[in-house]
Amino acid sequence: MKMTGPFHTRCEQAVANATLRKTLKNAAQIFRQSRAEGLGTLADPEAACDRAAEAKRRSLENLPAILELLEQNVIAAGGHVHWARTGAEANRIVADIARAEGVRSVVKGKSMITEETGLNQLLKDQGIEVNETDLGEWIVQLAGEKPSHIVAPALHKNRHEVSQLFHEHLGEPITDDIPTLTLMARRALREKFLVAEMGITGANILVAETGSVLLIENEGNIRMSTTLPRVHVAVASLEKAVQTLEDAAAILAVLPRSCTGQVLSSYTTVITGPRRAGERDGAQVFHLVLLDNGRSRILADPEMRSILHCIRCGACFNFCPAYTRVGGLAYPGTYSGPMGSILAPLLAEAQGKANPFAAFPYFCTTCGACRDACPVRIDHPRLLMKLRARHADTESPLPALAAAAFARLSASPRTWKMAAGVARTLDPELKLACRMPGIGKALSLWARKRRLPRLKQPFAARWADRSQTQPGGRA
């Protein structure tokens, strides 16, 4: 019975942390409320989600052609395009650009894709200073942690913990005031922007017809990362590409709303190539790195393809009963929450790597709140169930032999009835059953915080006694 493992242990530790649970609960409630308000500003939120989902579906269907068009148009706008099959290849491409451009200092906009590839470490190994500039991302960088939520990387930290961190790393006085903390970050980061020769960002959407990278944010750090340094490198995974600005608009109609509840983020930046003659801002050199890292395999898997609809709004995280009790640090690897529980095992498999994420799909109550929250119509529970089946042999809590025995028992109502009868007679309160191998462990775990139910004379046995003559009477 698969009930242990590093992931289980990390989840148990996280859920035992009362401070963390409170932080996570507050954050989830704020996000959920904001999303409801944001979508509430639309006349027909369901129709808007349908349009966004359709834009993603259509884009994935025509992805090869869209990517070629994107490449042509980025080049036509004066940019460079690089194709990377693996995360390591993408990192190497970025590092080579940095070396060629004589870069010593990099500022980064929040990017899950470079978390996925582990870019920061490689750049640091080459002696390049790397500074995250998204407040949350910078906080986790200072803490030596990873983002625990795709939208709010430092969601697992409360203001006291952040102040402590700033005190240790920046020598700032302790404060509980969030605006003061934000100003401390701004002071420290402003200097980094001014000296950096290269800005690295991800991309929210790639628009093929114009060759543009579309980025949304609330702190202005991404716009600064793409305009102050001389070189801008955007790293994006293949599925970010859509054909038209209209498709991008369909996605934008639901993305900030689902994410933070905003109608539009504070900054929506559309970058088409480097600065042109006569323009007053923008990077002088622009590179786009298009990363596969297993996605084309997922694209070719019809059962799983729709996970590539994901626009990283984070809504599914905020509604997930399991994620919101443990936070993202309990999950090994880059992605957590419902979307991560699908994407992480699929990516590992597509990359032909060991799959430490196969346990994720079982960390789910199948409640479906993620599916309902998803603005691009990903049916997470359906995909998670299929992934459970794919990895049942190593991850299922129900061993194959037990499943087969249960199926046989279910096929034989007489044996079923007899077994239930024996159990009811000998052990109606399931006390003996708690000591049996297999089922006993499950029952004991159940009984830690719940009283066990009692076996009763089944309804089927009472049915015969029920004369069907008492409509209107009490049985």
Partner 1 sequence: MPTVDLFIPCLVDQFLPEVAEACANVLTRLGVTLRLPSGQTCCGQPVYKAGRFPEARDIARRHLALFEGAEAVVAPSGSCVHMMRHGYPELFEGEPGMRERARALGQRTYEFCEYLVDVLGVSDVHANYVARAVYHDSCQVGRSLGVKAQPRALLDAVGGLTRVELEFPEDCCGFGGPFAVQHAAVSEAILEDKIDDILSSRADIVVTAEPSCLLNIRGGLQKLKAKQPVLHIAQVLDSGVGA
**Residues in region 25-54 near partner 1 by CB under 8 A:** 25
CB nearer to partner 1: pick between 19 and 72:
19
Of 11, 152, 228, 233, which lies in the binding site for partner 1, with binding defined by CB under 8 A? 11
Taking residues 66 to 85 in sequence order and writing x for each that binds partner 1 by CB under 8 A, - otherwise, the string is --------------------
Supply 71's token pair: 């490449």
Decide if 208 contacts 67 (C-beta within 8 A): yes
Of 82, 326, 334, 353, which lies in the binding site for partner 1, with binding defined by CB under 8 A? 326
In angstroms, give the least distance from the CB of 378 to partner 1: 15
Enumerate residues 6+ apart whose C-beta is below 8 A from 348.
Answer: 294, 333, 354, 355, 356, 357, 358
Residues between 282 and 321 that touch partner 1 (CB under 8 A) = 321
Q: Which stretch binds partner 1 (CB under 8 A): 99-107, 164-172, 338-346, 384-392?
A: 384-392
Strand intervals (E) in 298-439: none
Of 355, 363, 337, the closest CA to residue 148 belongs to: 337
State the number of CA atoms in the 13 A half-sphere of 116 facing the CB: 26
Supply 381's token pair: 């529970």
Q: What three-state secondary structure class fits 236?
A: strand
Q: Which stretch binds partner 1 (CB under 8 A): 186-194, 235-243, 346-354, 363-371?
A: 363-371
In the chain, the N- to C-terminal Cα span, in Å, equals 42
Decide if 332 contacts 6 (C-beta within 8 A): yes
What is 270-317 written as a DSSP string? Answer: EE-SSPPTT-SSS-SEEEEEEE-TTHHHHHT-TTTGGGGG-----HHH
Residue 383 interacts with partner 1 (CB under 8 A): yes or no: no
- Residues 294, 300, 305, CA angle at the centre, nearest 5°? 85
CB nearer to partner 1: pick between 309 and 371:
371
Looking at residue 383, its amino acid is: L
Residues between 134 and 173 that touch partner 1 (CB under 8 A) = none
Report how many residues bind partner 1 under the rule CB under 8 A.
Answer: 74
Rg over alpha carbons for the chain, rounded to the nearest Å, is 26
In angstroms, give the least distance from the CB of 436 to partner 1: 14
Strand intervals (E) in 411-475: none
Residues between 440 and 469 that touch partner 1 (CB under 8 A) = 441-442, 445-446, 448-460, 462-463, 466, 468
Residues between 342 and 361 that touch partner 1 (CB under 8 A) = 361
In angstroms, give the least distance from the CB of 462 to partner 1: 6
Q: Which stretch binds partner 1 (CB under 8 A): 68-76, 125-133, 155-163, 409-417?
A: 409-417
- Phi, psi angle pair for 424, to nearest 5°: -65, -40
Taking residues 258 to 287 in sequence order and writing x for each that binds partner 1 by CB under 8 A, - otherwise, the string is ------------------------------
Q: Find tokens 């609330």 and name the residue.
A: 218
The continuous run of DSSP H or E covering 118 comes out as none
Q: Which stretch binds partner 1 (CB under 8 A): 65-73, 159-167, 233-241, 412-420?
A: 412-420
Of 158, 398, 427, 433, which lies in the binding site for partner 1, with binding defined by CB under 8 A? 398
Residue 406 interacts with partner 1 (CB under 8 A): yes or no: yes
In angstroms, give the least distance from the CB of 467 to partner 1: 11
